[in-house]
Amino acid sequence: MALEIVSRHGCFGGTVTYYRHASSATGTLMRFSAFVPANVQNAPLLWFLSGLTCTEDNFTVKGGAYRQAAALGLVIVAPDTSPRGADVPDDPAYDFGQGAGFYINATQAPWATHFQMERYIAQELPQVVAAELPVDMRRQGLFGHSMGGHGALTLALKYPQQFTSISAFAPIAAPTQVPWGRKAFTSYLGSDEAAWQDHDACVLMRRSGDRRAMPAILLDQGADDPFLHEQLRPELFEAACAAVGQGLILRRQAGYDHGYFFVSTFIDDHLRHHAAILGGQS
Protein backbone atom coordinates (compact mmCIF):
# COMPACT_ATOMS: atom_id res chain seq x y z
CA MET A 1 0.00 0.00 0.00
CA ALA A 2 1.40 3.39 -1.01
CA LEU A 3 1.41 6.38 1.29
CA GLU A 4 -2.21 7.53 1.57
CA ILE A 5 -3.47 10.96 2.55
CA VAL A 6 -6.23 10.50 5.11
CA SER A 7 -7.00 14.22 5.46
CA ARG A 8 -5.34 17.60 4.93
CA HIS A 9 -6.01 20.89 6.71
CA GLY A 10 -4.77 24.47 6.30
CA CYS A 11 -2.87 25.67 9.37
CA PHE A 12 -0.95 28.96 9.87
CA GLY A 13 -0.40 29.30 6.14
CA GLY A 14 0.90 25.74 5.82
CA THR A 15 -0.77 22.34 6.06
CA VAL A 16 -1.38 19.59 8.56
CA THR A 17 -1.72 16.26 6.78
CA TYR A 18 -2.65 12.88 8.24
CA TYR A 19 -1.06 9.96 6.41
CA ARG A 20 -1.50 6.19 6.49
CA HIS A 21 0.80 3.53 5.08
CA ALA A 22 1.66 -0.15 5.33
CA SER A 23 4.69 -0.64 7.55
CA SER A 24 7.17 -3.42 6.94
CA ALA A 25 8.58 -2.89 10.45
CA THR A 26 5.31 -3.44 12.31
CA GLY A 27 3.42 -5.47 9.71
CA THR A 28 0.42 -3.17 10.17
CA LEU A 29 -1.03 0.03 8.83
CA MET A 30 0.59 2.99 10.57
CA ARG A 31 -0.49 6.62 10.76
CA PHE A 32 1.34 9.87 11.29
CA SER A 33 0.66 13.58 11.00
CA ALA A 34 2.91 16.16 9.37
CA PHE A 35 2.90 19.94 9.64
CA VAL A 36 4.58 21.64 6.68
CA PRO A 37 4.93 25.45 6.69
CA ALA A 38 4.17 27.37 3.51
CA ASN A 39 6.83 27.57 0.80
CA VAL A 40 9.57 25.55 2.51
CA GLN A 41 12.24 23.47 0.82
CA ASN A 42 15.01 21.52 2.54
CA ALA A 43 13.48 22.36 5.90
CA PRO A 44 14.70 20.96 9.22
CA LEU A 45 12.66 17.95 10.33
CA LEU A 46 11.46 17.66 13.92
CA TRP A 47 9.92 14.43 15.23
CA PHE A 48 7.50 14.46 18.15
CA LEU A 49 6.95 11.19 20.02
CA SER A 50 3.81 10.99 22.14
CA GLY A 51 3.10 9.29 25.44
CA LEU A 52 1.05 6.43 26.83
CA THR A 53 -2.47 6.02 25.40
CA CYS A 54 -1.81 8.61 22.67
CA THR A 55 -2.10 8.40 18.90
CA GLU A 56 -0.68 10.73 16.26
CA ASP A 57 -3.63 13.02 16.99
CA ASN A 58 -2.93 14.12 20.57
CA PHE A 59 0.07 16.34 19.92
CA THR A 60 -1.30 17.43 16.55
CA VAL A 61 -4.47 18.83 18.10
CA LYS A 62 -3.35 19.78 21.62
CA GLY A 63 0.35 20.66 21.36
CA GLY A 64 -0.07 24.22 20.07
CA ALA A 65 3.14 23.93 18.08
CA TYR A 66 2.29 25.06 14.59
CA ARG A 67 2.20 28.86 14.83
CA GLN A 68 5.80 28.90 16.03
CA ALA A 69 6.82 26.07 13.70
CA ALA A 70 5.50 28.10 10.77
CA ALA A 71 7.51 31.13 11.86
CA LEU A 72 10.67 29.06 12.24
CA GLY A 73 10.24 27.02 9.07
CA LEU A 74 10.18 23.65 10.87
CA VAL A 75 8.47 20.54 9.53
CA ILE A 76 7.02 18.47 12.40
CA VAL A 77 6.07 14.80 12.09
CA ALA A 78 4.09 13.06 14.85
CA PRO A 79 3.80 9.27 14.48
CA ASP A 80 1.46 6.93 16.32
CA THR A 81 2.76 5.32 19.50
CA SER A 82 2.34 1.65 18.57
CA PRO A 83 1.03 -0.79 15.97
CA ARG A 84 -2.73 -1.23 16.08
CA GLY A 85 -5.38 -3.57 14.72
CA ALA A 86 -7.55 -6.54 15.53
CA ASP A 87 -4.67 -8.95 14.92
CA VAL A 88 -2.19 -6.98 17.06
CA PRO A 89 -1.71 -8.18 20.66
CA ASP A 90 -3.12 -5.87 23.30
CA ASP A 91 -3.62 -5.60 27.03
CA PRO A 92 -6.49 -4.04 29.02
CA ALA A 93 -4.08 -1.87 31.02
CA TYR A 94 -3.54 1.67 29.76
CA ASP A 95 0.24 1.45 30.13
CA PHE A 96 0.91 -1.63 28.05
CA GLY A 97 0.06 -3.03 24.62
CA GLN A 98 -1.53 -0.90 21.92
CA GLY A 99 -0.82 2.76 22.60
CA ALA A 100 2.24 1.84 24.66
CA GLY A 101 4.98 0.72 22.27
CA PHE A 102 7.79 2.37 24.29
CA TYR A 103 9.74 2.97 21.05
CA ILE A 104 11.66 -0.30 21.35
CA ASN A 105 11.90 -3.50 19.30
CA ALA A 106 10.13 -6.25 21.24
CA THR A 107 11.87 -9.63 21.32
CA GLN A 108 9.28 -11.70 23.19
CA ALA A 109 6.12 -13.43 21.93
CA PRO A 110 3.47 -12.37 21.17
CA TRP A 111 4.77 -8.79 20.96
CA ALA A 112 7.82 -9.26 18.72
CA THR A 113 5.81 -9.76 15.53
CA HIS A 114 4.40 -6.24 15.46
CA PHE A 115 5.96 -4.14 18.23
CA GLN A 116 9.05 -2.98 16.34
CA MET A 117 8.74 0.72 17.07
CA GLU A 118 12.44 1.55 17.25
CA ARG A 119 12.98 0.18 13.77
CA TYR A 120 9.87 1.98 12.55
CA ILE A 121 10.83 5.40 13.97
CA ALA A 122 14.58 5.33 13.38
CA GLN A 123 14.71 3.53 10.02
CA GLU A 124 11.49 3.00 8.11
CA LEU A 125 9.50 6.18 8.72
CA PRO A 126 12.39 8.54 7.90
CA GLN A 127 12.60 6.94 4.45
CA VAL A 128 8.86 7.40 3.96
CA VAL A 129 8.99 11.03 5.07
CA ALA A 130 12.08 11.86 2.99
CA ALA A 131 10.28 10.70 -0.15
CA GLU A 132 7.17 12.78 0.58
CA LEU A 133 8.05 15.99 2.42
CA PRO A 134 10.34 18.97 1.62
CA VAL A 135 12.85 18.20 4.35
CA ASP A 136 16.61 18.11 4.81
CA MET A 137 17.32 14.68 6.33
CA ARG A 138 20.74 15.90 7.45
CA ARG A 139 18.98 18.08 10.03
CA GLN A 140 16.67 16.05 12.24
CA GLY A 141 15.63 16.67 15.83
CA LEU A 142 13.67 14.57 18.32
CA PHE A 143 11.39 15.60 21.13
CA GLY A 144 8.56 13.96 22.98
CA HIS A 145 6.38 13.73 26.06
CA SER A 146 6.37 11.12 28.86
CA MET A 147 6.84 7.72 27.16
CA GLY A 148 7.66 9.73 24.05
CA GLY A 149 10.22 11.73 26.02
CA HIS A 150 11.85 8.40 26.87
CA GLY A 151 11.77 7.54 23.16
CA ALA A 152 13.26 10.87 22.14
CA LEU A 153 16.14 10.62 24.61
CA THR A 154 17.00 6.99 23.92
CA LEU A 155 16.71 7.08 20.14
CA ALA A 156 18.73 10.29 19.89
CA LEU A 157 21.43 8.75 22.06
CA LYS A 158 21.43 5.52 20.04
CA TYR A 159 21.44 7.27 16.65
CA PRO A 160 23.53 10.43 17.20
CA GLN A 161 24.49 10.66 13.52
CA GLN A 162 20.81 10.89 12.60
CA PHE A 163 19.29 13.08 15.31
CA THR A 164 21.09 16.31 16.17
CA SER A 165 18.81 18.16 18.60
CA ILE A 166 16.94 16.71 21.58
CA SER A 167 14.34 17.88 24.06
CA ALA A 168 11.64 16.31 26.18
CA PHE A 169 8.63 17.06 28.34
CA ALA A 170 8.38 14.97 31.53
CA PRO A 171 10.23 11.96 30.08
CA ILE A 172 10.35 8.52 31.65
CA ALA A 173 14.03 9.17 32.20
CA ALA A 174 15.09 5.93 33.90
CA PRO A 175 12.67 3.23 32.70
CA THR A 176 14.70 0.31 34.10
CA GLN A 177 14.15 1.76 37.58
CA VAL A 178 10.45 2.70 37.50
CA PRO A 179 7.20 0.68 37.33
CA TRP A 180 6.10 1.80 33.85
CA GLY A 181 9.39 0.82 32.28
CA ARG A 182 9.93 -2.39 34.23
CA LYS A 183 6.46 -3.63 33.34
CA ALA A 184 6.89 -2.93 29.64
CA PHE A 185 10.46 -4.19 29.39
CA THR A 186 9.68 -7.46 31.21
CA SER A 187 7.00 -8.34 28.67
CA TYR A 188 8.54 -6.86 25.53
CA LEU A 189 12.19 -7.80 26.16
CA GLY A 190 12.10 -10.64 28.70
CA SER A 191 13.24 -11.02 32.28
CA ASP A 192 16.98 -10.57 31.63
CA GLU A 193 17.51 -7.00 32.78
CA ALA A 194 20.77 -6.77 30.88
CA ALA A 195 18.68 -6.59 27.70
CA TRP A 196 16.87 -3.55 29.08
CA GLN A 197 19.95 -1.38 29.35
CA ASP A 198 19.94 -0.35 25.68
CA HIS A 199 16.60 1.37 26.25
CA ASP A 200 17.36 3.48 29.32
CA ALA A 201 18.46 7.08 28.71
CA CYS A 202 20.48 7.20 31.93
CA VAL A 203 22.43 4.08 31.00
CA LEU A 204 22.98 5.24 27.43
CA MET A 205 24.18 8.65 28.57
CA ARG A 206 26.70 7.18 31.03
CA ARG A 207 27.94 4.80 28.33
CA SER A 208 28.75 7.74 26.10
CA GLY A 209 31.87 8.32 28.22
CA ASP A 210 34.20 10.90 26.72
CA ARG A 211 32.37 11.01 23.40
CA ARG A 212 32.08 14.57 22.11
CA ALA A 213 29.03 16.03 23.81
CA MET A 214 26.01 16.69 21.64
CA PRO A 215 24.25 20.05 21.80
CA ALA A 216 22.59 20.82 25.10
CA ILE A 217 19.42 18.87 25.82
CA LEU A 218 16.33 20.78 26.97
CA LEU A 219 14.07 19.03 29.47
CA ASP A 220 10.95 20.52 31.04
CA GLN A 221 9.34 18.84 34.04
CA GLY A 222 6.18 19.92 35.83
CA ALA A 223 6.86 20.22 39.55
CA ASP A 224 3.25 19.22 40.29
CA ASP A 225 3.35 16.18 38.01
CA PRO A 226 1.74 13.25 39.92
CA PHE A 227 4.11 10.80 38.19
CA LEU A 228 7.30 12.73 38.94
CA HIS A 229 8.79 10.79 41.84
CA GLU A 230 7.61 7.26 41.07
CA GLN A 231 7.68 7.05 37.27
CA LEU A 232 9.81 9.84 35.73
CA ARG A 233 12.96 10.45 37.86
CA PRO A 234 14.56 13.32 35.90
CA GLU A 235 17.17 13.75 38.63
CA LEU A 236 18.74 10.43 37.54
CA PHE A 237 19.15 11.69 33.99
CA GLU A 238 20.52 14.96 35.35
CA ALA A 239 23.19 13.00 37.24
CA ALA A 240 24.02 10.89 34.19
CA CYS A 241 24.53 14.01 32.05
CA ALA A 242 26.72 15.57 34.72
CA ALA A 243 28.84 12.42 34.91
CA VAL A 244 29.85 12.66 31.23
CA GLY A 245 29.82 16.44 30.82
CA GLN A 246 26.70 16.58 28.67
CA GLY A 247 24.93 19.93 28.66
CA LEU A 248 21.41 19.72 30.08
CA ILE A 249 18.86 22.46 30.64
CA LEU A 250 16.47 20.93 33.18
CA ARG A 251 13.63 23.26 34.09
CA ARG A 252 11.31 22.32 36.94
CA GLN A 253 8.10 24.21 36.29
CA ALA A 254 6.11 25.09 39.40
CA GLY A 255 2.34 24.68 39.12
CA TYR A 256 2.39 22.36 36.08
CA ASP A 257 1.32 18.73 35.90
CA HIS A 258 1.75 16.00 33.27
CA GLY A 259 -0.76 16.95 30.59
CA TYR A 260 -0.95 18.95 27.39
CA PHE A 261 -1.68 22.23 29.16
CA PHE A 262 1.90 21.88 30.41
CA VAL A 263 3.25 20.84 27.00
CA SER A 264 1.52 23.64 25.11
CA THR A 265 2.72 26.26 27.62
CA PHE A 266 6.39 25.59 26.90
CA ILE A 267 6.24 24.24 23.35
CA ASP A 268 7.55 27.46 21.77
CA ASP A 269 10.72 27.26 23.87
CA HIS A 270 11.35 23.75 22.59
CA LEU A 271 10.80 24.72 18.98
CA ARG A 272 13.23 27.63 19.32
CA HIS A 273 15.72 25.27 20.99
CA HIS A 274 15.62 22.91 18.02
CA ALA A 275 15.65 25.69 15.42
CA ALA A 276 18.75 27.23 16.99
CA ILE A 277 20.58 23.92 16.58
CA LEU A 278 19.15 22.75 13.26
CA GLY A 279 18.92 26.14 11.51
CA GLY A 280 16.22 27.34 9.13
CA GLN A 281 15.35 26.09 5.68
CA SER A 282 18.18 26.10 3.18
**Could you give the residue numbers annotated as active site?**
146, 225, 258
C-alpha distances out from residue 114 to 53, 78, 88, 137, 182, Å: 17, 19, 7, 26, 20
Residue length of the chain: 282
Longest dimension (CA), the chain: 50
C-alpha distances out from residue 216 to 164, 173, 268, 277, Å: 10, 16, 17, 9
Q: DSSP class of residue 81? A: S
Report how far residue 53's alpha carbon sits from residue 51's, in angstroms, rounded to the nearest whole number: 6
Q: In sequence order, what are the beta bridge partners of 14? A: 11
Q: DSSP class of residue 54? A: -
